[in-house]
A and B are shown apart, each in its own frame.
Chain A
């Protein structure tokens, strides 16, 4: 049971410094990030989940108050943070310039503002760079010591935009600290010993399509494979016997069967071309919140044992 081949996905991810959770919007990236984060923390790893979404869904789900960007401890060894890329970028400027007067002048200048919103890959770099600083103990005074950062990637665009940003930035910006940081990050992302990429999908046509495209794009642009595929929100396996003949039940079972059949078809398509480790998670009759996360954590562990 020692070999890499048989290692549980959670044990695998617990060896990574950075875990990027990516996938199409609406497939449950945040729920999966939280589930993985709780599992890593339970396994003894000091973990921070970073969410890049102004709505702070993660905080709601974990029962932590809205943070306004602060790092909050949600559970033992587990922290959460909502990140605003622009604030991170502005902070870099302040750190570099030191003089507040000068920093203000740069931050208020139109060219900086156009630059901050327009420069290719810069926002993505700010997100990754933030994770990098925390991992290297550069999070500033009061920042907890973090062993793994889980990045719940923004839903907009492909996650590949985030993952390929460092390489892009080193191409566009040729010198200076951004360039150096981008270089370090590109190396980190390419290193599958240090960085894990988790692709979340649902067994439906569009999400599966996007997951497969994402993998191709990762191969092309980041030259690596994702570490884990999580198929979320599966309908329960349909009953083997023909449905009972009462009207309402009939409709229910028929919907159940057909939705599961669609799940099975898309699962088969995934299995055909995706040979790496895969976790399958059911749809559960629970509202968002800690009870859901706990049950999902058990489902995750069960699926990981298979």
Chain B
């Protein structure tokens, strides 16, 4: 039976990337695919961003997982490891690696702008996650890597990070940024070239953003300069890995019609950008209950009872699924997983979830081949 089905954990896709909006259960699904893969006998690494406390306990990962891959106590033919992605830490490590000498390393790490780089500099922090992925994918220790993506709505930023980095490096922005902007007296050089406008621009910059910040930024780019070539090469390779036909994307979403535009946007974007999109998984779907006879009514719009709520939610989620299926192409694998009474957090329930996903995919394939 197995042979004729699409098999997520077949080893054909050494890298599986789980994407989707926040709060839909990506991390749990990534972990369950990892457990399944180890069961199938492959040495597996699950890389996650922000697992729940319970999941962390289950996987047995603590703070040390930010630094290295930690073995999970799972009795299976393959070994299971887990790691936590920490963008800032990876960035620091990257700088340590690419800095040509101690002086450049120190200059970047101590730069005030770098230290405050809490947002994204053209997606650099998201990029760090991919960078860490590349480190482990490259060393060949694992037959299977499952990557959970950042808990952001714009998780696509994450995929575009390498491209944006390359774009940034190639755009000339860097050359501009690397130019010594300030002369010996700490005055903006361009200002003198621009004449009256330049002096006004300088005054503006000083008044609005303050020269201190600009000086910090200019210094950062200069200090970062020697690191860029290695950085760029790496970004190109990461980009290639993400687009490889062997890399499979699993798109996870939640039930309900209001999620559909997001899901479609994600799916179309992934395909148009040339990523290998595998199944779309609608997670935590309320089951449909065909309740016979009379069910008690609460008679109170403010306090609906469980019969009213759950039958309504079951219908709503069904409507959402049907609508989504209509909008996707027939060839697009689409499966739903039911809302469980309890969230799967221990190893057996994670494995059960993984198996359920596998068998739902099988059912989907059989259904499609029967009806085509």
Q: What 8 pairs between A and B have smallest CB-CB spacing?
A: A26-B23, A256-B306, A285-B312, A258-B341, A25-B22, A118-B121, A120-B116, A110-B173
A-B contact pairs, 11 of them (CB 8 A): A25-B22, A118-B119, A118-B121, A205-B54, A206-B23, A209-B53, A249-B289, A252-B289, A258-B342, A285-B312, A295-B302
Stretch of B29-37, B63-71, B151-159, B228-236 at the chain-chain interface: B151-159
Could you say which of A157, A175, A262 contacts B210, with CB atoms under 8 Å apart? A175
Taking a contact as CB atoms under 8 Å apart, the answer to whether B177 and A114 are in contact is yes
Distance between A217 CB and nearest chain B CB, rounded to angstroms: 12
User: In the assembled complex, which residues on chain B have CB atoms less than 8 Å from the CB atom of A171?
Assistant: 116
Cβ-based interface call for B308 (8 A): yes
Also in contact, A206 and B306, with CB within 8 A (given A173-B212, A176-B208): no
Q: Assess the B173–A114 pair: CB atoms within 8 A.
A: yes
Q: How far is the CB of A71 from chain B (nearest CB, A)?
A: 24
Q: How far is the CA of A218 from the CA of B196 in the complex (A)?
A: 46
B343 contacts the other chain (CB 8 A):
yes
In the bound complex, residues from chain A placing their C-beta under 8 Å from that of B209 are 115, 119, 173, 176, 178
Which of B1-9, B40-48, B198-206 has 4 or more CB atoms under 8 Å from chain A?
B198-206
Knowing A97-B204, A114-B122, the reply to whether A27 touches B23 (Cβ < 8 A) is yes
Interfacial residues of chain B within 271-327, with CB under 8 A of chain A in the complex: 287, 289-293, 295, 298, 301-313, 316
In the complex, are the beta carbons of B118 and A168 less than 8 A apart? yes
Indicate the size class of the contact surface on chain B.
Answer: 35 or more
What residues of B have a CB within 8 angstroms of the CB of A259 in the complex? Answer: 339, 341
Does B210 lie within 8 Å of A176, measured CB to CB? yes
B-facing residues in A93-151 (Cβ within 8 Å): 93, 96-97, 99, 101-102, 105-106, 110-111, 113-115, 117-123
B303-361 residues at the A interface, CB under 8 angstroms: 303-313, 316, 339, 341-343
| Chain B contacts for A249, CB-based, 8 A | 289, 291-292, 295, 307
Residue from A24, A93, A176, A258 within 8 A of B22 (CB atoms): A24
Let me know if A106 and B204 touch, CB within 8 A.
Answer: yes
Interface check B120, CB cutoff 8 A: yes
Whether a CB of chain A sits under 8 angstroms from the CB of B12 is no
B200, B210, B292, B316 pick with most chain A CB within 10 angstroms = B210
For the complex, what is the distance from the CA of A117 to the CA of B118, rounded to whole Å?
11
Q: With CB as the reference atom, state the residue of chain B lying closest to A168.
A: B116
In the complex, what residues of B have CB within 8 A of residue A7's CB?
none
Q: Which residues of chain A from 242 to 300 have any CB-CB distance to chain B below 8 Å in the complex?
A: 246, 248-249, 251-260, 262, 282-285, 287-288, 295, 298-299
Chain B: residues with CB nearer than 8 A to chain A? 21-24, 52-54, 112-113, 116-122, 151-154, 168, 171-173, 176-177, 181, 197, 200-201, 204, 206-210, 212-214, 216-217, 254, 257-258, 261-262, 287, 289-293, 295, 298, 301-313, 316, 339, 341-343
Given contacts A106-B201, A282-B302, are A174 and B118 in contact (CB under 8 A)? no
In angstroms, Cα B310 to Cα A282, docked, is 13
A174 near B210 (CB under 8 angstroms)?
A: yes
On chain B, the residues within 8 Å of A304 by CB distance are none
Query: Could you say which residues of chain B place their CB within 8 Å of the CB of A92?
Result: 208
Q: How many A-B residue pairs have CB under 8 A?
A: 197
Q: Are A299 and B302 also in contact (CB < 8 A) when A117-B120, A176-B210, A252-B311 are? A: yes
| Chain B: minimal CB distance from A261 (Å) | 9
| Closest-CB distance, B195 to chain A (whole angstroms) | 12
- The answer, yes or no, to whether A190 is at the interface (CB within 8 Å) is no
Closest residue of B by beta carbon distance from A251: B289
Contacts of A177 in B (CB 8 A): 207-208
Please name all residues of chain A whose beta carbon is closer than 8 Å to the beta carbon of B295 when the two chains form the complex.
249
Q: Are A102 and B304 in contact (CB under 8 A)?
A: no
Residues of B with C-beta under 8 A to A117: 119-122
Question: Which interface class (under 10, 10 to 19, 20 to 34, 35 or more) fits A?
Answer: 35 or more
Cβ–Cβ contact A121 & B118, under 8 A: yes
Chain A interface residues (CB < 8 Å from chain B): 24-27, 53, 55, 57, 92-93, 96-97, 99, 101-102, 105-106, 110-111, 113-115, 117-123, 155-157, 161, 168, 171-179, 204-207, 209, 235-236, 238-239, 246, 248-249, 251-260, 262, 282-285, 287-288, 295, 298-299, 302
Known: A25-B23, A298-B302. A235 touches B207 (CB 8 A): no
Shortest beta-carbon distance from A249 to chain B in Å: 5
- A25-B22, A117-B122 as given contacts; A252 in contact with B307, CB under 8 Å: yes
Q: How far is the CB of B82 from chain A (nearest CB, A)?
A: 17
Q: Report whether A114 and B121 are in contact in the complex, using a CB–CB cutoff of 8 Å.
A: yes
CA distance A152 to B120 in the complex (A): 21
Query: In the complex, which residues of chain A have a beta carbon less than 8 angstroms from the beta carbon of B339?
Result: 255, 259
Q: Does A119 lie within 8 Å of B213, measured CB to CB? A: yes
Residue in A closest to B179 when the chains form the complex, CB atoms: A111
Q: Which of B116, B119, B154, B342 contacts A262 (CB 8 A)?
A: B342
Verify A156–B152 contact, CB threshold 8 A. Answer: yes
Choice from A119, A205, A235, A285 contacting B52 with Cβ under 8 Å: A205
Q: Which residues of A contact B343 (CB under 8 A)?
A: 204-205, 262
The verdict on A285 contacting B342 (CB below 8 Å), with A172-B112, A248-B291, A295-B302 known, is no
Question: A26, B306: Cβ atoms under 8 Å?
Answer: no
Give the nearest-CB partner of B305 in chain A: A236
The reply to whether A156 and B210 contact each other, CB–CB distance below 8 Å, is: no
Task: Choose among B204, B208, B257 the residue with the greatest number of A CB atoms under 10 Å from its CB.
Answer: B208
Q: How far is the CB of A102 from chain B (nearest CB, A)?
A: 6
Once the chains bind, are A285 and B309 in contact (CB under 8 Å)? yes
A155:B153 contact, CB within 8 angstroms:
yes
Does B154 lie within 8 Å of A285, measured CB to CB? no
